[in-house]
Structure 1
Amino acid sequence: MSCRRSEDLSQRTTSQFVESITATVRGQSGSADVQAVVLRAVAQHSDSIDLPDVLELRSLLDVDSERADTLEEQVTTIISAIDAELAGWDRREVAA
């Protein structure tokens, strides 16, 4: 857990951020793994999430984004789950 969050993803779940990541997901049309594409895109947009963080997040996320009606809703659901997990990391770092 090497993540040192300098930004809060919930503040970045603006429509422009979601649209950007949704476009990335659409560009990866051969990939059925939306969660992996979103994780990679979030990491690329972040200056504080590195590869070990992405791998740990991938193993920890429990998101049923397929219940969402649209791809945008799937992306938003996954980003919210990432943000919630990172918030837990921040709380553990503060408590340590």
Structure 2
Amino acid sequence: MSCRRLEDLSQPPTSQFVESIATTVQGQPDSADVQAVVLRAVARRSDSIDFPDVLELRSLLDVDGAQAVTLEQQVMSIISAIEAELAGWDRLEVAA
């Protein structure tokens, strides 16, 4: 685990970004993994998240997509979980 800041996501994700990810998810086969698609999009947006971070985030994310009414809400909840996990990494790095 390394300290990874989402400078690009320090502001709430724009509805355009969320819609763009939702559109990408909709273009995938029904069996597509929504969390994986969102993680890839977030990693592409941030210069500080690399492949090992994506793998670790993937194993740590615990998002209940059943509570989301729309795909956009599901995408937003995954992004929020990513941000929360990365904030925890930052706190651990500062404490170390």
Secondary structure at 1:11's aligned position in 2? coil
Alpha-carbon distance in 2 for matches of 1:20, 1:95: 36
Tell me how far 1:2 sits from its aligned partner.
3.0
Instruction: Specify the alignment match of 2:26 in structure 1.
Output: 26
Deviations 1:9-59 (A, max 9, x none): 351411111112112212223443111111111111111111000000000
Aligned length: 96
When normalised by structure 2's length, the TM-score is 0.88
Residues 3 and 20 of structure 1: CA distance in aligned 2, closer, same or farther (over 3 Å): farther
Instruction: Specify the alignment match of 1:56 in structure 2.
Output: 56
Matched letter for residue 17 of structure 2 = F
Deviations 1:51-88 (A, max 9, x none): 00000000001100222110000000000000000000
The gaps in structure 1 that reach 5 residues or longer are none
Identical aligned pairs, as a percentage?
Answer: 79
> Which stretches of structure 1, 4 residues or more, deviate above 4 A after TM superposition?
none
Instruction: Tell which deviates more after alignment, 60-69 or 75-84.
Output: 60-69
Instruction: Tell which deviates more after alignment, 60-69 or 84-93.
Output: 60-69
Cα RMSD of the aligned pairs, angstroms, is 1.6
**CA contact under 8 A between 1:57 and 1:85: conserved in structure 2?**
yes
Instruction: Specify the alignment match of 2:75 in structure 1.
Output: 75
The gaps in structure 2 that reach 5 residues or longer are none
Instruction: Specify the alignment match of 1:88 in structure 2.
Output: 88
When normalised by structure 1's length, the TM-score is 0.88
